[in-house]
Chain A
C-alpha cells in the first residue's frame, strides 16, 4: 500500500464534506414527510434533534475546555513524583 490513499487527496475530502452536508440537510428536511410522534412538546419543534445535538455538543466541548484549564497537567505529572518512592 502506497502513501497515496484516496482519502489523502484534498479533492476527495472536499467531496466527503459536501456529501456530509447534503445528508445533514436531508435528515432535517425529511421531517416534512415523516411524522415524529413526539413524546414531549420540545420534540415536536422543527429540527429539534438536529439543533439539540449540535448545541449540547458545543456546550460540552466548551465546558470540557474550561475544566481543562483547571485540571490539565503535563502527562509526566505523576511519573515525576512517584519516581522517588511516592506511593509505590
Chain B
C-alpha cells in the first residue's frame, strides 16, 4: 500500500464537516469554501487506478479507486459542495452546512469506491447526511418528511445490503464492476440503486422530502442522492434494457406531476425525476455515445438544477412563500434571481448555447444511432415537455405572470455570487463544451452545433412554448397537491397501523385480564393453603409472597427460553 501520501477527497470534505461546528465568523466561511476546494485539488492530483487496497474478511476492498467516470462525478460533487456552501453561507442553522458536507463527502466516497462494500458504507452515510440536512430546516413538516425520507432510504439500504451480501457470497469478489441482472442478488442491487434514483414505484419520496428543506438545504439535496444513483447505474448496469423504459416512465411522470403542481420547489423536485429519467434511459441504451451522454447530462444537470433551486431559494428566503398561486411579478425587484433562474430554465430545456443542449442531445443521438425510433420519439416529446413544465412554467409563475404586488429585495452577497457562478457555467459549457467532453468516460465523437440540430431543437422548443401560452388557461395554478404513491404510507397505512394497534391493544388487555385472573386464582388458592389462615403457613404474610413467587417463576421461564 503506497497510500501514505494520497489524500482521499471524500475524507477531506467529511473532515471539513466535522470541523465546521467549532468555527465561527470568517474562519467558518473560509473553511466552507476551502474544504471543497481542497477536495477538488486532491482529486485531480490522484493518478488513475486502485489507490487504496484493504483486505477485509476474505475480500479485497478498494476504498479509493479512480478512473475517468469516477473522477467526473467526484468533480461535479465537489464543485456542487463549493457553490452550495457559498450560497448557504448566511444560513442560520448551524447543523445544515456540516450535514451537507458530510452528505457531499459521502457522495464523493461512492464515486471513488472501487468495491461494493465501500459503496454501501458511503451510501448509508449519504442517507444520514441528507436526513440531517432535512432536519436542520427545523419545521414540523420537515421533521415528518425526514422520517418518511429516512424510512424509504433505510429500506433501500437494506435491499442494497442484501444484494451486496449475496453478490459477495456467490462471486467471492467485492470489486464494483459491470453486473447483469441475472441473479436475485444483482436484482436487489439494481433495485437498491433505483430507489435512490427516484425510480417508480417509490419516486414520491423525492418531491415529498426535498421541498421541505430550508431555502439552501434543497439546493444540496437536489444534487447528490439521485446523481450517485446515476453513477452507480452507469458503472454497474450499463446497457440493461429495462432501464430505457424505467427512464422513459420517469421522464413523463416528472412532466405530468410538475404540470399539476403549485409549489415552486415541488415543480423543480418533479423535474429532477424527469431529468434523471433521461440519464437512466441513456444508461439503458448503453452505447458509448449514450453513456457519455448520461454522464455529461448528470454533470450539467447538477449545475442548472442547483441554479434553479438557488433562485427558488432566494425567493423563499425573501418572501417566505413557496406557492406559485401566491407569487408572480417578482422580476420587478429581483432582477438577478430572475435572470439566473431563467438561465437555469433555458439550460434545463436544452436551448442552444446552454449546457443542456450539449449533453442531453447525446442521449437522443444515441437512440437515433441505434435505430430506436420509438425511444427517440419519446425522448423528443419529453424534451418538449421539459420546456413546458420547468423551462417556462417555473420562471413564468414565479417571476412573471400577474403581479402579486410583492417587492422583496433581490438575493445579495454570497447568494448572488453562487447564482452568478452557476449561471456562468450553464452558458460557458453550452458555448464551449470541449473541456467537459474531454473528461467524459469515452472518447467523444459528436458535434452538437450543426445547423440542422440547432434549427430542429429551436422548432421543438419554441412551439412547445406556443403550446404553453395557448393553453395558459388550463395551466392556471390552484392551491392543490396531487396524490402520489406516498399517499399509501401517509394515509391508509398509518390508519391500518392505528387500527391494528387498537386491535393489538385490545388483545393485550384481554390477555392481561386472563393472566391476572389466573394469577389471582392461583394466589387465592395459595393463600387459602399457605396464607395466614392457611394450613401450611399460618403465621406468614404470604398473600403477597405468592405473587412474588409467581413473578420469579415467570422470570425464570422467560430466561430459560431466552437462554
Interface residues of A (CB under 8 A from B): 1, 3, 5, 7-8, 20, 23-24, 27-28, 30-31, 34-37, 39-40, 42-43, 47, 49-54, 56-58, 60-65, 67-68, 71-75, 77-79, 81-82, 86-88
Question: How many Å lie between the Cα of A58 and that of B381 in the bound state?
Answer: 11
**Interface residue ranges of B535-550 to A (CB < 8 Å):** none
Which of B89-97, B114-122, B412-420, B487-495 lies at the interface? B487-495
Residue ranges of B at the interface with A (Cβ–Cβ < 8 Å): 140-141, 143-144, 147-148, 252, 255-257, 259-260, 262-263, 323, 331-333, 368, 373, 376-377, 380-381, 384-385, 388, 400, 403, 407, 450-452, 455-468, 470-471, 474-475, 478-484, 489-491, 493-494, 497
| 8 Å CB contact of A60 from B259, B459, B480, B489 | B259
**Chain B residue with Cβ nearest A87:** B494
Q: Is the CB of B462 within 8 A of A64?
A: no
B333 x A61 contact (CB < 8 A) = no
Classify the secondary structure of A's interface with B. helix
Residues of the A chain whose Cβ atoms lie less than 8 Å from the Cβ of B255: 60, 64
Q: Is the CB of A67 within 8 A of B256?
A: yes
Known: A1-B332, A65-B474. A53 touches B455 (CB 8 A): no
Docked pose: A57 CA to B461 CA in angstroms: 10
| A74 vs B462: C-alpha distance when bound (angstroms) | 33
Partner of B481, one of A1, A28, A72: A72
Query: Bound state CA distance, A5 and B452, in angstroms?
Result: 37
List, in ascending order, chain A residues with CB within 8 A of B385's CB.
56-57, 60
Across the interface, which residues of B come within 8 angstroms of A42, CB to CB? 377
Q: Which of B403, B465, B482 has the most CB of A within 10 A?
A: B482
Closest chain B residue to A28, Cβ basis: B459
By the criterion CB–CB under 8 Å, are B460 and A53 in contact?
yes
Q: Do A88 and B144 touch across chains, with their CB atoms under 8 A apart?
A: yes
| A39-B453 Cα distance, complex, nearest whole Å | 12
Q: In the complex, which of the residues A23, A58, A62, A64 contacts B260, with contact meaning CB atoms closer than 8 Å?
A: A64
A49-B467 contact, Cβ under 8 Å, with A60-B255, A68-B482 = no
Partner of B479, one of A7, A24, A63, A74: A74
In the complex, the answer to whether A64 meets B384 with C-beta atoms within 8 Å is: no
Contact of B463 among A3, A54, A61, A68 (CB under 8 A): A54
| A54 close to B381 (CB less than 8 A) | no
Chain A residues whose C-beta falls within 8 Å of the C-beta of B381 in the assembled complex? 52, 56, 60
- Are B259 and A61 in contact, CB atoms less than 8 angstroms apart? yes
Minimal Cβ-Cβ distance residue in B for A62: B474
Which of B148, B256, B455, B471 is the one whose CB lies under 8 Å from A34? B455
Interchain residue pairs with CB less than 8 A apart (18):
A34-B451, A40-B368, A49-B380, A49-B459, A50-B462, A53-B460, A57-B468, A61-B388, A61-B467, A65-B474, A71-B484, A73-B481, A74-B481, A75-B480, A75-B481, A81-B491, A86-B490, A87-B493
**Shortest Cβ gap from A75 to chain B (Å):** 5
With A58-B471, A61-B259, A73-B483 as known contacts, state yes or no: A53 contacts B332, CB within 8 Å. no
- Nearest-neighbour CB distance to chain B for A20, whole angstroms, equals 8
CB-CB under 8 A from B468, the residues of chain A are 57
> CA A88 – CA B440 in complex, angstroms?
44
- CB atoms of B459 and A53 under 8 A apart: yes
Tell me how far the C-beta of B234 lies from the nearest C-beta in chain A, rounded to whole angstroms: 25
Say whether B144 contacts A52, CB under 8 Å.
no
Minimum C-beta distance from A35 to chain B (A): 7
Q: Which of A31, A72, A77 is B455 in contact with, Cβ under 8 Å?
A: A31
Complex contact A87–B489 (CB within 8 A): yes
Contact among A40, A49, A63, A71 for B460, CB-based, below 8 A:
A49
Find out whether the CB atom of B463 lies under 8 angstroms from the CB atom of A36.
no
The 4 lowest CB-CB distance pairs between A and B, nearest first, are: A57-B467, A49-B459, A87-B494, A53-B460
In angstroms, Cα B459 to Cα A1, docked, is 36
Q: A53-B384, A82-B490 known; A72 and B463 CB under 8 Å? A: no
